[in-house]
Amino acid sequence: MGNISIRWLSHAGFRINSKNDKTIIIDPWIVDNPLCPISLDEIDSADIVAVTHDHFDHAANAVDIAKKTEAIVVCMPETANRFKSDLGLPDKKVVFGGTGMNIGGSAIIEGITITMTQAFHSSQTGSPCGYIIKLENGTTIYHAGDTGIFEGMKTLGDLYSIDIALLPIGSCFTMDTVQAVHALKLLRPRKVIPMHYRTFPILEQDAGRFAGLARKEVPHVEVIVLEPGEEYEYSG
Protein backbone atom coordinates (compact mmCIF):
# COMPACT_ATOMS: atom_id res chain seq x y z
CA MET A 1 0.00 0.00 0.00
CA GLY A 2 1.29 3.46 -0.87
CA ASN A 3 0.54 6.93 0.38
CA ILE A 4 -2.76 8.75 0.22
CA SER A 5 -2.81 11.09 -2.76
CA ILE A 6 -4.91 14.22 -3.18
CA ARG A 7 -4.94 15.73 -6.66
CA TRP A 8 -6.50 19.15 -7.21
CA LEU A 9 -8.54 19.21 -10.41
CA SER A 10 -8.98 23.00 -10.01
CA HIS A 11 -11.95 24.88 -8.54
CA ALA A 12 -13.53 22.57 -5.90
CA GLY A 13 -12.67 19.35 -7.69
CA PHE A 14 -10.39 16.73 -6.17
CA ARG A 15 -9.40 13.16 -6.80
CA ILE A 16 -8.43 11.33 -3.62
CA ASN A 17 -6.76 7.90 -3.74
CA SER A 18 -6.64 5.94 -0.51
CA LYS A 19 -3.88 3.60 0.61
CA ASN A 20 -6.14 0.70 -0.42
CA ASP A 21 -6.34 2.19 -3.92
CA LYS A 22 -9.93 3.38 -3.63
CA THR A 23 -10.76 6.56 -5.55
CA ILE A 24 -13.01 9.40 -4.45
CA ILE A 25 -13.83 12.21 -6.84
CA ILE A 26 -15.39 15.34 -5.37
CA ASP A 27 -17.26 18.03 -7.32
CA PRO A 28 -16.15 17.00 -10.81
CA TRP A 29 -16.34 19.88 -13.27
CA ILE A 30 -14.13 18.61 -16.06
CA VAL A 31 -15.70 19.63 -19.37
CA ASP A 32 -15.47 23.35 -20.20
CA ASN A 33 -13.55 24.10 -17.01
CA PRO A 34 -10.78 26.48 -18.14
CA LEU A 35 -8.34 25.28 -15.47
CA CYS A 36 -9.06 21.56 -15.28
CA PRO A 37 -5.87 19.69 -16.24
CA ILE A 38 -7.55 16.47 -17.42
CA SER A 39 -10.23 15.36 -19.85
CA LEU A 40 -13.24 13.26 -19.01
CA ASP A 41 -11.75 10.39 -21.03
CA GLU A 42 -8.83 10.23 -18.60
CA ILE A 43 -11.11 9.27 -15.70
CA ASP A 44 -11.59 5.53 -16.06
CA SER A 45 -11.98 4.45 -12.43
CA ALA A 46 -13.72 5.74 -9.32
CA ASP A 47 -15.45 4.26 -6.28
CA ILE A 48 -17.23 7.35 -4.91
CA VAL A 49 -18.34 10.56 -6.59
CA ALA A 50 -19.35 13.15 -3.97
CA VAL A 51 -21.32 16.24 -4.99
CA THR A 52 -21.53 19.12 -2.53
CA HIS A 53 -24.31 20.97 -4.34
CA ASP A 54 -26.15 21.20 -7.62
CA HIS A 55 -24.36 24.00 -9.46
CA PHE A 56 -22.76 23.38 -12.87
CA ASP A 57 -19.24 24.06 -11.59
CA HIS A 58 -19.56 21.27 -9.03
CA ALA A 59 -21.99 18.69 -10.41
CA ALA A 60 -21.44 18.94 -14.17
CA ASN A 61 -19.72 15.60 -14.75
CA ALA A 62 -20.76 13.54 -11.74
CA VAL A 63 -23.21 11.40 -13.72
CA ASP A 64 -20.77 10.98 -16.62
CA ILE A 65 -18.16 9.54 -14.27
CA ALA A 66 -20.62 7.32 -12.41
CA LYS A 67 -21.93 5.83 -15.64
CA LYS A 68 -18.47 4.88 -16.91
CA THR A 69 -17.10 3.55 -13.61
CA GLU A 70 -18.30 1.57 -10.59
CA ALA A 71 -18.71 4.76 -8.58
CA ILE A 72 -21.56 5.43 -6.19
CA VAL A 73 -22.79 9.03 -6.25
CA VAL A 74 -23.20 10.65 -2.84
CA CYS A 75 -25.48 13.68 -2.88
CA MET A 76 -28.72 15.20 -1.60
CA PRO A 77 -31.99 13.29 -2.32
CA GLU A 78 -33.33 16.07 -4.52
CA THR A 79 -30.10 16.20 -6.49
CA ALA A 80 -30.19 12.42 -6.87
CA ASN A 81 -33.72 12.71 -8.24
CA ARG A 82 -32.59 15.21 -10.87
CA PHE A 83 -29.63 13.04 -11.81
CA LYS A 84 -31.98 10.09 -12.24
CA SER A 85 -34.86 11.79 -14.04
CA ASP A 86 -32.90 14.20 -16.25
CA LEU A 87 -29.62 12.38 -16.80
CA GLY A 88 -30.57 8.73 -16.54
CA LEU A 89 -28.49 7.80 -13.51
CA PRO A 90 -29.73 4.41 -12.24
CA ASP A 91 -30.75 3.87 -8.61
CA LYS A 92 -27.91 1.41 -8.07
CA LYS A 93 -25.40 4.18 -8.77
CA VAL A 94 -26.76 6.42 -5.97
CA VAL A 95 -25.95 6.01 -2.29
CA PHE A 96 -28.54 4.08 -0.27
CA GLY A 97 -30.00 2.40 -3.33
CA GLY A 98 -31.10 5.55 -5.09
CA THR A 99 -32.25 7.58 -2.09
CA GLY A 100 -29.31 9.90 -1.60
CA MET A 101 -28.57 11.24 1.87
CA ASN A 102 -28.87 14.37 3.94
CA ILE A 103 -26.91 16.47 6.42
CA GLY A 104 -25.82 14.44 9.43
CA GLY A 105 -26.02 11.13 7.60
CA SER A 106 -23.10 8.78 7.02
CA ALA A 107 -22.50 6.03 4.50
CA ILE A 108 -19.78 3.40 4.37
CA ILE A 109 -18.66 2.64 0.83
CA GLU A 110 -15.71 0.34 0.13
CA GLY A 111 -14.51 0.79 3.72
CA ILE A 112 -14.63 4.60 3.50
CA THR A 113 -17.00 6.51 5.78
CA ILE A 114 -18.43 9.66 4.25
CA THR A 115 -20.49 12.00 6.44
CA MET A 116 -22.54 14.86 5.03
CA THR A 117 -22.13 18.17 6.85
CA GLN A 118 -23.86 21.50 6.58
CA ALA A 119 -22.71 24.35 4.35
CA PHE A 120 -24.09 27.85 3.77
CA HIS A 121 -24.57 28.53 0.08
CA SER A 122 -27.28 27.83 -2.53
CA SER A 123 -28.13 24.96 -4.85
CA GLN A 124 -30.36 24.23 -7.83
CA THR A 125 -31.70 21.16 -5.99
CA GLY A 126 -31.49 20.12 -2.37
CA SER A 127 -29.25 22.00 0.04
CA PRO A 128 -25.52 22.68 -0.15
CA CYS A 129 -23.29 20.49 1.99
CA GLY A 130 -19.75 19.48 2.82
CA TYR A 131 -18.21 16.11 3.64
CA ILE A 132 -16.13 14.51 6.34
CA ILE A 133 -14.33 11.62 4.65
CA LYS A 134 -12.70 9.00 6.84
CA LEU A 135 -10.47 6.70 4.83
CA GLU A 136 -9.84 3.04 5.63
CA ASN A 137 -6.73 3.81 7.68
CA GLY A 138 -8.47 6.55 9.71
CA THR A 139 -7.11 9.57 7.83
CA THR A 140 -9.84 12.22 7.88
CA ILE A 141 -10.39 14.79 5.15
CA TYR A 142 -12.93 17.63 5.30
CA HIS A 143 -14.22 19.11 2.05
CA ALA A 144 -16.17 22.20 3.05
CA GLY A 145 -18.04 22.59 -0.23
CA ASP A 146 -19.03 26.12 -1.18
CA THR A 147 -19.73 27.89 2.08
CA GLY A 148 -19.38 30.96 4.18
CA ILE A 149 -17.90 30.58 7.62
CA PHE A 150 -20.21 29.21 10.31
CA GLU A 151 -19.85 28.55 14.02
CA GLY A 152 -20.66 24.87 13.55
CA MET A 153 -17.19 24.38 12.15
CA LYS A 154 -16.03 24.30 15.75
CA THR A 155 -18.33 21.34 16.35
CA LEU A 156 -16.84 19.57 13.35
CA GLY A 157 -13.38 20.20 14.81
CA ASP A 158 -14.55 18.80 18.16
CA LEU A 159 -16.16 15.69 16.65
CA TYR A 160 -13.57 14.78 14.06
CA SER A 161 -9.80 14.82 14.18
CA ILE A 162 -9.32 16.45 10.79
CA ASP A 163 -6.04 15.70 9.09
CA ILE A 164 -6.59 17.74 5.93
CA ALA A 165 -9.16 20.48 5.28
CA LEU A 166 -10.07 21.53 1.75
CA LEU A 167 -11.37 25.09 2.12
CA PRO A 168 -12.73 27.65 -0.36
CA ILE A 169 -10.99 31.02 -0.27
CA GLY A 170 -12.27 32.75 -3.40
CA SER A 171 -14.79 35.20 -1.89
CA CYS A 172 -17.85 36.37 -3.87
CA PHE A 173 -19.55 32.94 -3.65
CA THR A 174 -17.73 31.53 -0.60
CA MET A 175 -15.49 32.45 2.30
CA ASP A 176 -12.79 35.02 1.65
CA THR A 177 -9.24 34.86 2.96
CA VAL A 178 -9.99 36.28 6.41
CA GLN A 179 -12.97 34.00 7.00
CA ALA A 180 -11.14 30.93 5.72
CA VAL A 181 -8.22 31.55 8.08
CA HIS A 182 -10.61 31.97 11.01
CA ALA A 183 -12.29 28.72 9.94
CA LEU A 184 -8.94 27.01 10.55
CA LYS A 185 -9.11 28.15 14.18
CA LEU A 186 -12.52 26.46 14.50
CA LEU A 187 -11.75 23.28 12.58
CA ARG A 188 -8.20 22.75 13.90
CA PRO A 189 -6.95 20.58 11.01
CA ARG A 190 -3.35 19.49 10.69
CA LYS A 191 -3.11 20.68 7.10
CA VAL A 192 -5.15 22.79 4.70
CA ILE A 193 -5.41 22.94 0.92
CA PRO A 194 -7.14 26.09 -0.43
CA MET A 195 -9.64 25.74 -3.28
CA HIS A 196 -12.34 27.58 -5.23
CA TYR A 197 -10.23 30.47 -6.44
CA ARG A 198 -8.75 31.68 -9.76
CA THR A 199 -11.31 29.87 -11.96
CA PHE A 200 -13.36 33.00 -12.69
CA PRO A 201 -12.10 36.60 -12.87
CA ILE A 202 -14.49 37.56 -10.08
CA LEU A 203 -12.77 35.21 -7.61
CA GLU A 204 -9.55 35.62 -5.65
CA GLN A 205 -6.82 34.87 -8.18
CA ASP A 206 -4.02 33.72 -5.92
CA ALA A 207 -3.65 31.74 -2.67
CA GLY A 208 -0.72 33.85 -1.48
CA ARG A 209 -2.72 36.12 0.83
CA PHE A 210 -4.45 33.14 2.41
CA ALA A 211 -1.21 31.26 2.89
CA GLY A 212 0.53 34.26 4.42
CA LEU A 213 -2.27 35.06 6.85
CA ALA A 214 -2.73 31.42 7.82
CA ARG A 215 0.96 31.02 8.59
CA LYS A 216 0.76 34.09 10.80
CA GLU A 217 -2.56 33.35 12.58
CA VAL A 218 -2.47 29.53 12.77
CA PRO A 219 1.20 28.54 12.37
CA HIS A 220 0.49 24.99 13.58
CA VAL A 221 -1.60 24.32 10.44
CA GLU A 222 0.49 23.41 7.40
CA VAL A 223 -0.67 25.24 4.27
CA ILE A 224 -0.38 23.27 1.03
CA VAL A 225 -0.95 25.32 -2.12
CA LEU A 226 -1.41 23.21 -5.23
CA GLU A 227 -1.47 24.10 -8.89
CA PRO A 228 -4.29 22.58 -10.96
CA GLY A 229 -3.32 18.98 -11.64
CA GLU A 230 -0.73 18.89 -8.87
CA GLU A 231 -0.86 16.03 -6.41
CA TYR A 232 -0.11 15.99 -2.69
CA GLU A 233 0.96 12.74 -1.05
CA TYR A 234 0.13 12.13 2.60
CA SER A 235 1.62 9.23 4.50
CA GLY A 236 -1.22 9.11 7.02
pLDDT at 1 over 70: no
B/e letters for 50-68, b = 16+ CB within 10 Å, e = fewer, are bbbbbbebbbbbbbbbbee
C-alpha to C-alpha distance for 68 and 135, rounded to whole angstroms: 23
* 20-30 per-position pLDDT tens digit: 999 999 999 99
pLDDT of residue 177: 98
Mean of pLDDT values over 118-147? 98
Helix or strand (DSSP H, E) at 182:
helix 177-187
Task: Specify whether the CB–CB gap between 55 and 49 falls below 8 A.
Answer: no
Per DSSP, 94 falls in state B
CA dist 46 and 24 (Å) reads 6
- The whole-number pLDDT of residue 178 equals 98
Give the Cα separation of 210 and 180 in Å (integer): 8
The span from the CA of 165 to the CA of 73, in Å, is 21
**Domains in the chain, ordered, with CATH?**
4-227 (3.60.15.10)
Query: Taking a C-beta distance cutoff of 8 angstroms, is the pair 55, 28 a contact?
Result: no
Q: What is the pLDDT of residue 68?
A: 96
Band (236; pLDDT cuts 50, 70, 90)? confident
- pLDDT tens digits, residue range 152-164? 999 999 999 999 9
Number of helices (H), then strands (E), belonging to the chain: the values are 6, 13
Q: Considering the entire predicted model, what is its pTM?
A: 0.98
110 exposure class (CB count in 10 Å sphere: 0-12, 13-18, 19+): middle
Write out pLDDT tens, residues 99-121: 999 999 999 999 999 999 999 99
Mean pLDDT (the chain) is 97
